Amino acid sequence: MKFTKILMFIAAFSIGKSLAQSNNQKVTEYISPNRILWKAGEVKNAERLLQEGVGQADVRNQNMCILENKQGIKASILLDFGKELQGGIQIVTGIWAGNKPIKVRIRFGESASEAMSDVGGKGGATNDHAIRDQETLLPWLGIAEIGNTGYRFARIDLLEDNVKLILKEIRAISKYRNLEYKGSFNCSDTLLNKIWKTGAYTVQLNMQDYLWDGIKRDRLVWVGDLNPEIATINAVFGYNEVVPKSLDFAKETTPLPEWMNGISAYSMWWIINQRDLYYHSGDLKYLAAQKDYLAKLLKLLVGKIGSDNKENLDGQRFLDWPSSEDPKAIHAGLQSMMILSLNAGADLMGKLNDQETAKQCNLAVERLKKHIPDTNGSKQAAALLSLSNLMDAQRANTILSDGGAKNFSTFFGYYMLQAKANAKDYQGAMNIIREYWGAMLKLGATTFWEDFNMDWIKNAGRIDELVPEGKIDIHGAYGAYCYIGFRHSLCHGWASGPTPWLTEHVLGISVVDPGCKVIRIKPNLGDLTFAEGTFPTPYGILSVKHTLVNGKIKTQIKAPKGVKVLTK
């Protein structure tokens, strides 16, 4: 009997250990460089570093890469790891005379030119949020792991005079959540396919302990910026604990009547994020835990409506950076945000059986609708006015369509695309996605950027090469506000909007009832001949395929048990 209990304990321990390992999404992967982009001074056998490493020093000291400083000339090398990564680098060293540590300088860059830049120098490189430029010692016959930032390129400089550095390996240390891409998108346009995947990868890198906005800079929980990221997570990965963990962090660090991140709109985005999370997950228990804070926040917002039915929100009045100097656009956007967040709040409070708060929200929305602000020609304002039904969708689309992708922004571009869909201009939205997000890919991007301006394209060099003479360094030369020059993040989750947009509007998949119990499928192929993909639900994977046959869309749907599908 006692022996049987021991076996049961061992079995339970083994099952528990296995489960803990399978639930551990966060992994570390070591990646060898795929290109030597540049070298200077005495660098021998650099190609050795391109071989797949094992992360272990040995005493053979054969076939090594050698950097040597002599006659006052310093040795340096610039490595390309092929794509944007979150983490640092591992350096495995060999044997050199004197067996003393050797001092090096290591610079990380999201672009090749950033890795070649100085902190505070031309273009404004910084060590903000994460150290990307530092001096360190490398051990004799050992292993060093340095850095924790967002990068693709790494430059190593040998600093001391008359020294010889023997290198066996340099590998990227890539830290990410090893998640299954349960959602997918594939269509007859390979560029749209690549854009969908790039948006997904951008957010995946930002799914660290919390859901960040950027892996180099803005390694913070910005609540408004979470909204496109949550939409991407819902479309690609399904439920993930990083979302409620980040929303809880925002709540716990923002006692009312403070605004999240000091920005009134971001507290409103928190409400919308809660709604989006609940409709995908159906987790009523989690939603119920938000009830007290949510009710008080909604009442705080209702109190910010003036007798003239205009919002009079305090705190930082902000939509996104490109619109930040336009008070009229900001007012229009905040008036719309009040409607969107109070509508979401009324819905959630109704689900939580707080009909009184839901009623207050609905009455406040009716008041807000009596004041219709001017867009002042702002695409941000037009998008939100359309989505809040304060402006005719077609009229808003006229503003959004002016100049194509001109004056689009990476964050609010998502809502501009949503507003174009609201006007049923699906083809126009797809064209914008190709033009705007596609332009970043053509410039060498493997993740989407904090900001992008179509005017930057002219005569711009690619980010994955040293800028040729006569070309403009698109990373170092441009940017504004908090993202001037190399401070500009080239992996920003708020820029992932095309990924959920393509799932929602091309595949036509939208959630109707909480927990994905009811899903509507209404595809819009535009100029595509086919589109197919999958969508994660709490009940399993939904798959669709739409094919254009004789001018009509033929649809095949496979839904998991427990999910009702509407096609009208």
> Where are the alpha helices (H) located in 138-189, listed in sequence order?
none
Pairing verdict, β 133-138 and 184-187 = unpaired
**Tens digit of each residue's pLDDT, the chain (568 residues):** 443 433 333 333 333 332 233 346 999 999 999 999 999 999 999 999 999 999 999 999 999 999 999 999 999 999 999 999 999 999 999 999 999 999 999 999 999 999 999 998 767 789 999 999 999 999 999 999 999 999 999 999 999 999 999 999 999 999 999 999 999 999 999 999 999 999 999 999 999 999 999 999 999 999 999 999 999 999 999 999 999 999 999 999 999 999 999 999 999 999 999 999 999 999 999 999 999 999 999 999 999 999 999 999 999 999 999 999 999 999 999 999 999 999 999 999 999 999 999 999 999 999 999 999 999 999 999 999 999 999 999 999 999 999 999 999 999 999 999 999 999 999 999 999 999 999 999 999 999 999 999 999 999 999 999 999 999 999 999 999 999 999 999 999 999 999 999 999 999 999 999 999 999 999 999 999 999 999 999 999 999 999 999 999 999 999 999 999 999 8
Return the pLDDT at 123. Answer: 75
Strand boundaries in 178-232, DSSP class E = 184-187
**Residues in CB range of 324: below 8 A, 6 or more apart:** 318, 330, 481
Rg (CA), the chain: 26
The two three-digit tokens of residue 390, written as one number: 């304060």
Long-range contacts (CB closer than 8 Å, 24 or more residues apart) made by 313-317 = 313/264, 313/265, 313/338, 314/264, 315/259, 315/262, 315/263, 315/264, 316/259, 316/262, 316/263, 316/264, 317/264, 317/265
Q: Where does residue 262 fall: left (phi above 0), alpha (psi -120 to 50 degrees), or beta otherwise?
A: left
Find the DSSP H helices in 104-180: 112-115
Amino acid at 130: A
Q: Which fold has domain 27-176?
A: Jelly Rolls (2.60.120)
Q: How far is CA 311 from CA 259, 319, 320, 452, in A?
A: 15, 14, 18, 30
CB 106 within 8 A of CB 127: no
Can you give the pLDDT at residue 18? Answer: 29
- Kindly give, in sequence order, each residue whose CB lies less than 8 Å from that of residue 455, ignoring residues fewer than 6 positions away: 406
Q: At what angle do helices 264-281 and 291-302 cross, to 10 degrees?
A: 140
Could you state, in order of their start, the residue ranges of all structural domains in the chain?
27-176, 514-566
Range 514-566 has CATH code 3.40.50.1110: no
**Token pair for 40:** 């200077």
